[in-house]
């Protein structure tokens, strides 16, 4: 219904009609329209966590983190309206509050955990929560741009831009090398009298 009729057309009466039940039955189950939206919000995060749980952990933490981004991208593309409810909150009368934070906590812990593995392996440096927020926000923005048709006109160009963005962000958080810094020493040879 959300996909076909939008937020304005999403009413408890229309939901009851589509579900072949009565409006009082919808109210009995969910309390009100906000309760119905809240349950969609929670179910969205449960679905996303199930997608993440299918990802196997390998001995390459960075590749594992990239797969998390790819999984989130796929989820948003396959569930654009549900993702909007989860991440954009299009309903003015729905505020998830603290329960919303709890709904997303399993997803958040998973993403932060994969970032933490990269930090522990010396591949990234910084606060794991900050990095996770940046990656999730980047993914949401790029996915929205891709679905709007602004990320490229071919699969190759879209993939290239996704790869470029993810690589740039992860490289930006790359841990500095401990012993790789080269300092330039003054030459022991005597200088000529000529100035440069």
As a whole-number percent, the residues of the chain with pLDDT over 90 amount to: 61
**Inter-CA distances, 22 with 13, 16, 34, 40, 141, Å:** 8, 5, 17, 19, 38
The pLDDT value recorded for residue 92 is 64
Residue 183 has pLDDT above 80, yes or no: no
Q: Are 77 and 147 in contact (CB under 8 A)?
A: yes
**Inter-CA distances, 77 with 66, 122, 141, 143, 172, Å:** 17, 32, 12, 7, 26
- Could you tell me the pTM of the whole model? 0.81
* Domains defined for the chain, CATH in brackets: 32-172 (1.10.357.10)
Average pLDDT, the chain: 86
pLDDT in tens, 105-141: 889 999 999 999 999 999 999 999 999 999 999 999 9
Which position has the token pair 């919303």?
Answer: 100
121 vs 85, higher pLDDT = 121
């Amino acid at each position: 219904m959300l996909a076909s009729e939008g937020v304005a057309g999403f009413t408890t009466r229309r939901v009851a009609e589509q579900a072949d039940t009565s409006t009082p039955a919808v109210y009995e189950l969910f309390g009100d329209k906000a309760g119905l939206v809240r349950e969609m919000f929670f179910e969205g995060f449960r679905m996303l966590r199930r997608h993440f749980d299918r990802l196997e952990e390998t001995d390459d933490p960075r590749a594992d983190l990239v797969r998390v981004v790819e999984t989130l991208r796929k989820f948003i593309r396959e569930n654009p309206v549900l993702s909007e409810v989860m991440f954009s909150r299009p309903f003015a009368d729905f505020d998830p509050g603290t329960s919303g934070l709890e709904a997303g906590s399993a997803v958040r812990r998973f993403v932060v955990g994969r970032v933490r593995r990269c930090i522990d392996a010396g591949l990234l440096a910084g606060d794991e929560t900050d990095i996770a927020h940046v990656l999730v926000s980047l993914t949401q923005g790029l996915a929205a741009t891709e679905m709007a048709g602004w990320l490229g006109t071919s699969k190759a160009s879209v993939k290239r831009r996704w790869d470029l963005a993810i690589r740039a962000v992860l490289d930006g958080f790359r841990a500095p090398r401990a012993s790789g810094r080269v300092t330039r020493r003054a030459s022991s040879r005597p200088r000529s009298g000529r100035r440069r």
